[in-house]
Structure 1
Amino acid sequence: MKWIKTYRMFLIVSFVWMIIFFTNNKTGLNALTITGNSIVDMLLLLPPILILVGLLDTWVPKETILKFVGKDSGFRGPMIALLLGGVAAGPLYVAFPIAAILLEKGALLRNVVFFLGVWSVAKLPIVIYESASLGLVFTIIHVSFGLLFYYVAGIFMEKTSYKEVTINQNMSV
């Protein structure tokens, strides 16, 4: 019975999919195809990212991370987070292993949250596409408010949740 608790979300989604499939065959098959394609995309993208994260963990010393995004980074920390998140490629789930390594090596939580926010709101390819599709004014407003929100949220999380963030050493990234 423990496996039911462990896999309850998968079971719920599978049950909903079966209801959709038996209600409307075409929609159910379409949902299954989209899900399968997403899983294949993720499985093709994650191994190289995890290898790069492992290399980052091995090659970049803790002192370097502390210097650029750690406690004494000052204004440089958010700027590095902005640069790293802005030039990133790939979906947001690729950023989480990188964020875990940054936290493990002593980066400030506010800089890591800001990095994740930049990755989700202000990646260069997304900004270019958004400005061409929705207009420059909308893009400037959207990105500005997004960046401000993520930076303030990072500060808030740091002040209220953690004194110092550490990743459990037994947890594999």
Structure 2
Amino acid sequence: MLSVLPPIFVLLGLLDVWVDRVTMMKYTGKGSGFKGVLIAFLLGSAAAGPLYAAFPFAGVMLKKGSSLMNVLIFIGAWSTTKIPLLAFEAASMGPVFTLTRFALSLVGIPLIAFLTERSLGEKQLKELYQLNCADMPKPEA
């Protein structure tokens, strides 16, 4: 566990410095649509490391103005669709099982993220963003 944390904090620092808020909001913020969902899913799937490493990244994403739905998709993809996990699963459980589970994840993760975001009220969303020192992202015109 201790060997995983230093690289995570280095990457978090780089993400915080190199990716400005406007860029993050443009690609994963409210109003980013399918593009934001795809980026969040790909980032989560390409990530390496344990699930607890995803939460600091999620916090930075919220701070930078990503929509809650895209942050939840990122966490869901990190936990279930990592590329090394899929390769191991295909070898041990078989390709039919792996493809079925992956297809269900492709549909289920965005659906659950959408329903979770919709189930929160405006006040709860505002509190969530305030906890992460960010203003509520506004859709781009």
* Secondary structure in structure 2 of the residue aligned to 1:140: helix
- Give the count of matched residue pairs: 129
Q: State the 1:167 CA deviation.
A: 4.6
1:53 equivalent to 2:12? Answer yes
1:160 equivalent to 2:123? Answer no
1:82 equivalent to 2:45? Answer no
1:107 equivalent to 2:62? Answer no
Q: Paired residue for 1:121?
A: 80
Q: State the 1:162 CA deviation.
A: 4.6
Q: Tell me, which stretches of 5 or more residues in structure 1 are unaligned?
A: 1-41
Q: Which has the higher contact order (CA 8 A, sep 6+)?
A: 2
TM-score when normalising by structure 1: 0.69
* Bigger mean CA offset, 121-130 vs 43-52: 43-52
What is the alpha-carbon distance in structure 2 between the residues aligned to residue 169 and residue 71 of structure 1? Answer: 16
1:66 equivalent to 2:25? Answer yes
TM-score when normalising by structure 2: 0.84
After superposing on structure 2, the runs of 4+ consecutive aligned residues of structure 1 that deviate more than 4 Å are none
Q: State the 1:97 CA deviation.
A: 0.6
Q: Tell me, which stretches of 5 or more residues in structure 2 are unaligned?
A: 134-141
Give % identity.
Answer: 44
